[in-house]
Amino acid sequence: MGEENYKKLRPYLGMTTYYVCESKKYPVVFSTRFMYSKKSYGLFGDEGRGFSFSSTRYTGVGGGHFHYFTNGKFIKSDEKYNLERY
């Protein structure tokens, strides 16, 4: 990916499942997401918020792969994410 492209994207790391041991949370399932902004120019708005000449939309970068942490390394799985919550 490279550091330059990484800085352009908006990285996100979310923990969806965890277990608690001695008052500490340990992640079991977490997800990563990268987003970028796309700016469109034109006439946008409505009578409630007014109008503007540009609109910014945030779009996620596709992927959908599972990685397992085994022996201190992330191993990419052949499984694909099918929009289920874990």
Helix/strand/coil (H/E/C) assignment for every residue in 14-47? EEEEEEEECCEEEEEEEEEEEEEEEEEEEEEEEC
Q: Helix (H, G, I), strand (E, B), or coil: what is residue 3?
A: helix
Dihedral sign from CA coordinates of 1, 70, 19, 23: negative
| Predicted TM-score (pTM) of this structure | 0.37
pLDDT band (50, 70, 90) for residue 81? low
The pLDDT tens digits for 29-56 are 666 677 777 888 988 887 777 888 888 8
Which residue ranges make up each domain of the chain? 3-80
pLDDT(86) > 50: no
Question: Which residue from 82, 81, 85 is spatially nearest to 65, judged by alpha carbons?
Answer: 81
Percent of the chain predicted with pLDDT > 90: 0
Give the span between the Cα atoms of 42 and 37, in whole angstroms.
Answer: 16
Mean pLDDT, rounded, for 58-64? 70
